[in-house]
Structure 1
Amino acid sequence: WPICINSKVPWHPVLLSPILRSTVRSSGEFRLEGSGPTAEAKPSATAMEDVSEIETRTDSLSASIIFHVIRDVIGFVLYMHQQIPSVLPDLTTEFDDLQAEYKNLEAALSPCEEAKGSFRRKHAGRMRDIKRGIRKLQKLMDTVNSLDTALQIIISEVPGVESAILILGSSPIRPHHVYEFSFTHGNNVATNAGDFTKSKAAEGLARKAIRVLISKGAGSGSYPGPTKLFLLVKAPSSFNSPLHFLPKRDFRYSKKVASLGTLVGICYDSYVVVPFRVRLRCRNLPLALADDASLTSSSSIGLGDFNSHDLIWFQCRHVIKGLTFKIPDEE
């Protein structure tokens, strides 16, 4: 029979971080239209189709700003798409606490050779539980740390990084969600390329970027299950860091995704990927010049032409894989 359903996809019910809690809005909407047992899922009109611009209060985009904007949005994407059970800072603290507790229990158990069997069994049981928790988070934390290192390396060697892409999906060429970033530096490129201290400017711009994404409905899509997050950065073809990045000169991604699963007996055939685009512009760059370097939807990947044949895409080798965990039921 004919099907025409309007449904709002609910936000993840767990508590949000302080940065997100005050700004989150349920703006994700999908319309299912068709007939018979299948229907096509299409993004609603509220989906982001243009570039959201953020003007900085600084005269240049420092390495710290670029790094922390990308880094914080990675945490946002993982959390809002239910790839991690809590925000990255909380997971990092939990991981460190588990490691510290395991070492303390190990040290306390060593001199207790003559302790009662019940005490030793209880101690050993707790250590097994902690070790299980450490093992669950170990790979995620190692990958996040490696990605941080890779991002710092490419920003240090290419201080004028102009664009980056975050892709959530099983493959970078067949994404479920895409986040594109453009950095327009103007006439000044920051020289402190090795300083990644989180300044107030970097923290403020990272929060602004997250708020912009939330206002456009980012993170409101259906849960795809544990998947992967890929990072790509545009840099000169002469850039060489084989341990962290692989060149992808002709990189393109498909904007149509198929076979997402079923919902109340209705099969999703496919939907069009609408990338979320954010551009950070330093205040000394006239708007007319910024528009020349703006992101355009006509390009193969939506990041525009930077008038340089020497710039190519580099894919980070460190791919973050989502965790499997129980999703709390919505109250």
Structure 2
Amino acid sequence: MPMEEGGGSSETEFVNIDTASYSLDSSAIFHVVTDIIAFILFMHQQIPSVLQDITQEFDELRAEFKELEVELAKNEVKAISTRRKQATRKREVKMGIRRFEKLMACVSNLKSALQLMFAEVPTVETISLVLGPSPLRPLHVYELSFPQGSVVSGDFSRSKTADNLSRKAIRTMISSGAGADSYAGPTKLFLLVKAPSHLNLPLHFLPKREFRQNRKRVPLRLRFRCRTRDPQMNAQLNDCANSDGLIDSASNDLIWFQCRHTIKGIAFRTSPPED
């Protein structure tokens, strides 16, 4: 997997994604992370279409199901053929809801856990997104490193900064070959956060002190960088990370925290079966 523009595939290499802002708030980081999660699921064929379309379809199916329930519950006399059509459609809608229900619940739970974390934690430095049977047996790993000192924001509305960063990140991932390999069937997406061990993360995140990433699978590392008011300091401040994308882990006692919530891909056909 390509790691750095114009470089090789060494573990220590990053792809830098720059923003014109002087700082990133937790709301912008939240939206960038969730957009990248949605992209990973789609590009690795864990969902049949982009997550935004699935969410819209799921909401429309639930709304239609409620309308059909109301119509069928009415006491007014209707033609038998009309009631049969409505009952048949109700069954079809229910099947469609069941198809996406578990996926949407998993996505919602993961987003809620992330939102709670970003609302409480002043700095998020590295997030690892692991696609595979388990974090110890990854098929793909994506590491996102963020500048230190991010501002906590209770307002999680989208911003232009978040939109621009998401587009840059996704373009970079595509150019780096994300999702170019063959489909391996439904699997799980795990989210881990690297942070100081003394940090009180929400209960959605479990400390994994002994966790070590599988060295056989080299991650694609994206490093988000902000501007500084002193242009001569940009490179020094933004490139101060070590090979793990962070300052010395020994002096800060950094460990991985794993989110309790995972997202499991759903089985679907990408093409009709052959005769």
Query: Structure 1 length as normaliser, TM-score?
Result: 0.74
1:174 is paired with a residue whose SS is coil
CA distance in 1: counterparts of 2:16 and 2:54, whole angstroms: 31
CA distance in 1: counterparts of 2:234 and 2:133, whole angstroms: 39
CA distance in 2: counterparts of 1:195 and 1:248, whole angstroms: 30
CA distance in 2: counterparts of 1:173 and 1:159, whole angstroms: 28
CA distance in 1: counterparts of 2:53 and 2:100, whole angstroms: 12
Deviations for 1:149-181, whole angstroms, at most 9, x for unmatched residues?
A: 111111122121100000000001110000001
Distance 1:46 1:57, change over 3 A: closer
Which residue in the other structure is 2:29 paired with?
A: 66
Between the two proteins, what is the percent identity of the paired residues?
A: 52
Residue 309 of structure 1, CA deviation: 2.8
Distance 1:293 1:47, change over 3 A: closer
Is 1:290 the counterpart of 2:250? The answer is: no
CA distance in 1: counterparts of 2:120 and 2:194, whole angstroms: 12
Residue 196 of structure 1, CA deviation: 1.5
Query: Structure 2 length as normaliser, TM-score?
Result: 0.88
Which residue in the other structure is 1:217 paired with?
A: 177
Of 203, 206, 227, which residue of structure 1 is paired with 2:166? 206
Q: Does the Cα contact within 8 Å between 2:106 and 2:263 map onto a contact in 1?
A: yes
Q: Does the Cα contact within 8 Å between 1:181 and 1:279 map onto a contact in 2?
A: yes
2:252 is paired with a residue whose SS is coil
Higher helix share: 2
Deviations for 1:228-249, whole angstroms, at most 9, x for unmatched residues?
A: 000011223231422x111112
Q: Does the Cα contact within 8 Å between 1:81 and 1:219 map onto a contact in 2?
A: yes
CA distance in 1: counterparts of 2:41 and 2:7, whole angstroms: 22
Distance 1:46 1:101, change over 3 A: farther
The 5 A counterparts of 1:230-245 are 230-238=190-198, 239-242=200-203, 244-245=204-205
Q: Does the Cα contact within 8 Å between 2:129 and 2:189 map onto a contact in 1?
A: yes
Residue 306 of structure 1, CA deviation: 4.1
Q: List gaps (5 residues or longer) in structure 1.
A: 1-27, 30-44, 257-272, 297-301
CA distance in 2: counterparts of 1:61 and 1:317, whole angstroms: 26
Residue 47 of structure 1, CA deviation: 7.4
Residue 112 of structure 1, CA deviation: 4.7
Residue 184 of structure 1, CA deviation: 1.6
1:214 is paired with a residue whose SS is helix
1:196 is paired with a residue whose SS is coil
Which residue in the other structure is 2:225 paired with?
A: 281
Distance 1:313 1:46, change over 3 A: same
Aligned-pair Cα RMSD in Å:
2.1
Residue 61 of structure 1, CA deviation: 1.2
The 5 A counterparts of 1:1-331 are 48-49=9-10, 50-112=13-75, 114-185=77-148, 189-190=150-151, 192-238=152-198, 239-242=200-203, 244-256=204-216, 273-284=217-228, 286-294=234-242, 296=243, 302-307=244-249, 308-328=251-271
1:292 is paired with a residue whose SS is coil
Q: Does the Cα contact within 8 Å between 2:147 and 2:226 map onto a contact in 1?
A: yes
Q: List gaps (5 residues or longer) in structure 2.
A: none
Q: Does the Cα contact within 8 Å between 2:27 and 2:118 map onto a contact in 1?
A: no
CA distance in 2: counterparts of 1:254 and 1:90, whole angstroms: 34
Distance 1:279 1:240, change over 3 A: closer
Residue 253 of structure 1, CA deviation: 2.5
1:184 is paired with a residue whose SS is coil
Higher strand share: 1
Q: Does the Cα contact within 8 Å between 1:46 and 1:216 map onto a contact in 2?
A: no
In the alignment of these two chains, the number of paired residues is 261
Which residue in the other structure is 1:265 paired with?
A: none
Q: Does the Cα contact within 8 Å between 1:255 and 1:274 map onto a contact in 2?
A: yes
2:181 is paired with a residue whose SS is coil
